[in-house]
Structure 1
Amino acid sequence: MLENFPFYLSLIIIIVLLIMLANKIKVAYPVLLVIAGLLISFIPGIPAMHIDPDLIFLIFLPPLLYEAAWGISWKELWRWRRIITSFAFVVVFLTAMSVAFVANHFIPGFSLVLGFLLGGIVSPPDAVSAGAILKFVKVPKRLSSILEGESLLNDASSLIIFRFALIAVATGQFVWYEAALSFSWMLIGGICIGLAIGWIFMKAHKHLPTDTNMDIILTIVTPYVMYISAEEVHSSGVLAVVSGGLLLSNKRHLFLTSVSRLHGVNVWESISFVLNGLVFMLIGLVLPEVTAGLEGVNLSSAIGYGVLITAVLIVGRIVSAYGAVFVTLIARNFITVADTRNPGYKVPLIIGWTGMRGVVSLAAALSIPLQLPDGSAFPQRNLILFITFIVILLTLLVQGLTLPYLIKKIPIPNLDETLSEEEVYHTISKQLAQHALTHLKTNYSKQLNNQPALQQMARKWEQNATITEDEFMAEECKFVYIDILNQQRQWLLQKNNDEQTLNEEIIRKHLRYLDMEEEKLSFL
């Protein structure tokens, strides 16, 4: 491990450079990272890369799920709960079943149980890939909310299918009522454990004398405690992290200070940046291990099987997307649905094309044991691993590269908002200023008359409450203001150098204030 440390360090530098390139050429960075990992794996002398599935499930998965749960809106998740749960559970099960029957029919030596095992591995789309691609194109909030919500839950459902199939292969039997009880416990137990641990950490943040650093450390520890606790009692660690993360995200303003929230966002963005970059690079680097274990089937046939399963996944997801719309249009006559309007053919097509697979699928495939309990080799393990790799590679390259083009060619109407996000933002800004002004004059009239600082604040809110759309800061004004802030920074730094006895911490406070002023421009 230590002798390869320079190699791992260079990987992180390469990841940063590739993500810079991806941002510049407007390509989703997972695509470039996987390709780069593939190319690096062919370089002579590169250390052999073996991915421990526990590394993915225990080290990478909990914080990535937790960060995603903090970023999603509970309101949007609840609004689109029916289509999200149908994609996260029903569609995942139907996808796994489709893969099982196709694999059993077309791949020699593949039993139906092995097909379900493969289906459980490749059925969940990857959240990070879709999120990275959607960053470069503008889609309605409803679409991004559905994709984000689905990605939070589909890992849990697919891993449940994977576990049951793994048990069936190992034991040679499948007892449906035992599986039903186990499924219920994994589902209910995971959610309850996540909520309980989330509640405990929320009380710890609120009542213990923590500072900003302690709060951030506790948020880093939280997802691991949730995941490990749930897995120890054989429930779903994924659902525990997701449910606990949603609880804490929805209540964050009740137990975290404003400083902890601001600093925590920066820390978590950096953590998820590194982890996401590493996992996609590792997907490409694992190619030698995948191909080395491929025995008993020639390479061209194995690639063909991978292409076949990929086609089943893509077609199945598109059909499911249109099926979900059809069911919703019928269900609206009997129950209340989030939206009764027909979305047309565009939205289901885009949802169907966002089925890129990622690291969870690879980690699940790698976690298949080498041997069965009786000591015999696990059937078709290497072929399952290779097919999984082909599925990940093809969905990332084919769908990942074409999705931005597809969205631009098939613009999706925003059925929820008649105003742009910028117009809504400025409207709320004026309403917020008016609310603050009214509260100040109603409850603090005496202090307002006696305190010049409060009078200055009142004038600022009065100006914000009456400002017109044309008076909001234009790009030219932002450019001038940033130049002034830079001049102020240079003046502060020069003053700090010239006056040797001046307390530098005072200068740093002023510099932090200027940084916050510049950050505020991104919200104007």
Structure 2
Amino acid sequence: MESIQIVLAMLLAVVASGYLVRVLPFSVPLPLVQIGLGAVLAAFQFGAVELEPEIFFLLFLPPLLFLDGWRIPKEGLFRDKFVILEMALGLVIFTVIGAGFLIHWMIPSMPLAVAFALAAIISPTDPVAVSSIASRAPIPKRLMHILEGESLLNDATGLVCFRFAVAAALTGSFSVASASLTFLWLALAGLGIGVATTMGVSMAQRWLTRHFGEEGGSSILISLLIPFAAYEIAELVHASGILAAVAAGIAMSYVEMSGKAPAATRIERSAVWNTVQFSLNGIMFVLLGEQLPRILQGAVNSVQEAGHLNPWWLLVYVLAISTGLAVLRFLWVWLSLRWSLLKARRRGERPPSPPWRVVVATSLAGVRGAITLAGVLTLPLFMEDGSPFPARDLAIFLATSVILVSLVVASVSLPRLLKNLQLPEDSSHSQEEDLAKSEASRAALAAVETKRQELVKQDEDKSDLYSEAAARVSQLYQRHIDAVERLASDPVQANALLGVERQLRLSGLQAERAALFRLSRERRISEETARRLIRNLDLLESRQR
């Protein structure tokens, strides 16, 4: 019963955070508000949450990573694949080495292997945290695609480094060859299992639907279960469940593009997944806030291990580590950029160098999150000889503090750093949209005419009726084609016209909906009829907006 109350309290905190972030007189990122509410729950001792890292990984990460893989733009992911791999592999290893030596130098009582373990678990960025910050900062689209791709793929690198650092701390030995082979198995097997799970489930679902039909909700439920299946199968064979969930999501986007799912299912599934994403994102940050008081108390109790009696040294460690991570990230980004420009010039190209603000923003956008928290909590309690694991509480506190500092720094600095940044306009998106509208409308016109001819052959006596109906339907698609052509010839005038049309159309839709509500209240139409018609109007309005 107490567990249910804790869950309900956290869900209520997530709901409250959505309102608080709008009510507060100053701008505060949503994750920080949720962390604060979690700390409030802990202060009132509304049930202590014993966070089990394995359960945390299973419940929260698979669906969120699956959804990120599903919705990330694949064109950007594959276009910048080499840059993303450099960040997901090279930057993590560079950070582990640099930050590991920095931590051991600052805190000599922390063994080098433990320092490397801490550096490894704070090296990967978090896709959930990155997405939360990106919604408030004017990050260029291409940079956002790189950050999202990096955060989706660098978890495996960081967790492998963390696993071997912990093993070295326990046994006193480390093998580069063994670590390399393990990483290859984790990555390749995880990716393969994720793709195979989605494709296998999708094919089985289509076969069952074709032969036996399908309930509307079952397709949505299956999509919710796929990431858990991919994660569990991968973990069962000691592969990366995280990469399996990401790969399953990427494969799901290709399944979606097959167009097999009904329109109503896609609409309902999107609404369900949006709710799941908002709820799980919020609960993760509320949980982080709920854990803070106990983590802080444990770190204060163990600060003497570092050779200092004053707890304020904890703040020095946190700021030094956070600064070191930003500097290491900046160095890697700058060197990678220089190398890319050099290779392009050798090929005879003259690519423009990005503004310095974009380079700095890339360095500050390395936000840590749930994976760091859950990973550091898996540090063992005891060594193999039964003695306490050295500096465990201190490592947990430092990792948690790095999460908070990275969130605050990115939330405060990125909007100001990128404000009024002038970048070359990317016209490819609008051109693609115009092409899509034009081609889709032409295909629709051809289909309408084909259907009209079929109907006339079946009943020639109604040929005039069919022709009139086809003409009325065709007018709508012809308007789309004319609008695209008008945009190409005179974009300023066309946009002004479309803006006025949109305002008039929205006014008409709002009036229609108000009339339906009134008729329903007056019992002149049934509630079922009103609900169905209002849903259609809502979809039309969302399209107009």
2:289 paired residue among 281, 284, 300: 284
Specify the alignment match of 2:459 in structure 1.
none
Q: CA 1:242–1:174 in 2, change beyond 3 Å: closer, same or farther?
A: same
Q: CA deviation at 1:105?
A: 1.5
Distance in 2 (CA, whole Å) between partners of 1:498 and 1:14 is 38
Q: CA 1:59–1:510 in 2, change beyond 3 Å: closer, same or farther?
A: same
Specify the alignment match of 1:9 in structure 2.
8
Specify the alignment match of 1:117 in structure 2.
117
Q: Aligned AA for 1:397?
A: V
My pick for the range that moved more, 470-479 or 62-71, is: 470-479
What does 1:93-172 align with in structure 2 at a 5 Å threshold? 93-172=93-172
Q: Aligned AA for 1:127?
A: P
Q: CA 1:84–1:482 in 2, change beyond 3 Å: closer, same or farther?
A: same
Confirm or deny: 8 A CA contact 2:137 2:415 kept in the other structure: yes
Q: CA 1:333–1:487 in 2, change beyond 3 Å: closer, same or farther?
A: closer
Identity %: 28
Q: Deviations over 1:122-177 (max 9, x none)?
A: 00122222222222343332111111111111122111111111222222211222
Specify the alignment match of 1:348 in structure 2.
359
Distance in 1 (CA, whole Å) between partners of 2:105 and 2:447 is 70
Q: Aligned AA for 2:241?
A: G
Matching of residue 519 in structure 1 with residue 542 in structure 2: yes
Q: CA deviation at 1:503?
A: 5.1
Matching of residue 225 in structure 1 with residue 232 in structure 2: no
Matching of residue 242 in structure 1 with residue 251 in structure 2: no
Query: Aligned with 1:235: secondary structure?
Result: coil
Q: Aligned AA for 2:256?
A: R
Distance in 2 (CA, whole Å) between partners of 1:87 and 1:23 is 35
Query: Aligned with 1:278: secondary structure?
Result: helix
Q: Deviations over 1:175-227 (max 9, x none)?
A: 22222221211111111111211211121232222333111101110000111
Confirm or deny: 8 A CA contact 1:123 1:158 kept in the other structure: yes
Distance in 2 (CA, whole Å) between partners of 1:179 and 1:8 is 39
1:432 paired residue among 419, 426, 440: 440
Q: CA 1:144–1:251 in 2, change beyond 3 Å: closer, same or farther?
A: same
Confirm or deny: 8 A CA contact 1:372 1:378 kept in the other structure: yes
Confirm or deny: 8 A CA contact 2:326 2:364 kept in the other structure: yes
Specify the alignment match of 1:505 in structure 2.
528
Confirm or deny: 8 A CA contact 1:27 1:133 kept in the other structure: no
Confirm or deny: 8 A CA contact 1:230 1:236 kept in the other structure: yes
Q: CA 1:31–1:441 in 2, change beyond 3 Å: closer, same or farther?
A: same
Confirm or deny: 8 A CA contact 1:152 1:242 kept in the other structure: yes
What does 1:67-78 align with in structure 2 at a 5 Å threshold? 67-78=67-78
My pick for the range that moved more, 255-264 or 301-310, is: 255-264
Distance in 2 (CA, whole Å) between partners of 1:335 and 1:208 is 53
Confirm or deny: 8 A CA contact 1:350 1:407 kept in the other structure: yes
Q: CA deviation at 1:341?
A: 3.7
Q: Deviations over 1:235-265 (max 9, x none)?
A: 1111111112111112213243322222111
Confirm or deny: 8 A CA contact 1:291 1:386 kept in the other structure: yes
Q: CA deviation at 1:47?
A: 2.9
Q: Deviations over 1:288-324 (max 9, x none)?
A: 2212322332422222212211111111111111111
Specify the alignment match of 2:182 in structure 1.
182
Specify the alignment match of 2:17 in structure 1.
18
Matching of residue 258 in structure 1 with residue 266 in structure 2: no
Q: CA deviation at 1:77?
A: 0.6
Confirm or deny: 8 A CA contact 2:111 2:390 kept in the other structure: no
Q: Aligned AA for 2:33?
A: L
Q: Aligned AA for 2:423?
A: P
Distance in 2 (CA, whole Å) between partners of 1:27 and 1:481 is 36
Specify the alignment match of 1:463 in structure 2.
479
Q: CA 1:205–1:340 in 2, change beyond 3 Å: closer, same or farther?
A: farther
Distance in 2 (CA, whole Å) between partners of 1:452 and 1:49 is 67
Q: Deviations over 1:423-467 (max 9, x none)?
A: 764564345324433565578656586343322221111122112
Q: Aligned AA for 2:123?
A: S
Q: CA 1:218–1:113 in 2, change beyond 3 Å: closer, same or farther?
A: same
My pick for the range that moved more, 443-452 or 131-140, is: 443-452
Confirm or deny: 8 A CA contact 1:23 1:29 kept in the other structure: no
Specify the alignment match of 2:193 in structure 1.
193
Q: CA deviation at 1:418?
A: 3.9
Q: CA deviation at 1:351?
A: 1.0
My pick for the range that moved more, 4-13 or 159-168, is: 4-13
Confirm or deny: 8 A CA contact 1:28 1:129 kept in the other structure: no
Specify the alignment match of 1:322 in structure 2.
334
Q: Aligned AA for 1:414?
A: P
Q: Aligned AA for 2:9?
A: S
What does 1:417-496 align with in structure 2 at a 5 Å threshold? 417-418=426-427, 425-426=433-434, 428-438=436-446, 440-441=448-449, 450-467=466-483, 468-469=486-487, 470-471=493-494, 477-496=501-520
Q: CA 1:203–1:23 in 2, change beyond 3 Å: closer, same or farther?
A: farther
Specify the alignment match of 2:460 in structure 1.
none
Q: Aligned AA for 1:351?
A: T
Specify the alignment match of 2:424 in structure 1.
414
Q: Aligned AA for 1:136?
A: R
Confirm or deny: 8 A CA contact 2:66 2:247 kept in the other structure: no
Q: CA deviation at 1:505?
A: 2.9
Q: CA deviation at 1:483?
A: 4.1
Q: Aligned AA for 2:537?
A: L
Specify the alignment match of 1:274 in structure 2.
279
Q: CA 1:412–1:125 in 2, change beyond 3 Å: closer, same or farther?
A: farther
Q: Aligned AA for 1:205?
A: Q
Q: CA 1:334–1:14 in 2, change beyond 3 Å: closer, same or farther?
A: same
Q: Give the CA RMSD over aligned residues.
A: 2.6
Matching of residue 32 in structure 1 with residue 56 in structure 2: no
Q: Which runs of 5+ in 1 are unaligned?
A: none
Matching of residue 397 in structure 1 with residue 401 in structure 2: no
Q: CA 1:327–1:291 in 2, change beyond 3 Å: closer, same or farther?
A: same
My pick for the range that moved more, 449-458 or 160-169, is: 449-458
Query: Aligned with 1:196: secondary structure?
Result: helix
Q: CA 1:198–1:423 in 2, change beyond 3 Å: closer, same or farther?
A: closer
My pick for the range that moved more, 16-25 or 513-522, is: 16-25
2:394 paired residue among 372, 383, 406: 383
Q: Detail structure 1 runs of 4+ shifted over 6 Å in the superposition.
A: 334-337
Q: Aligned AA for 1:3?
A: E
Distance in 1 (CA, whole Å) between partners of 2:187 and 2:3 is 40
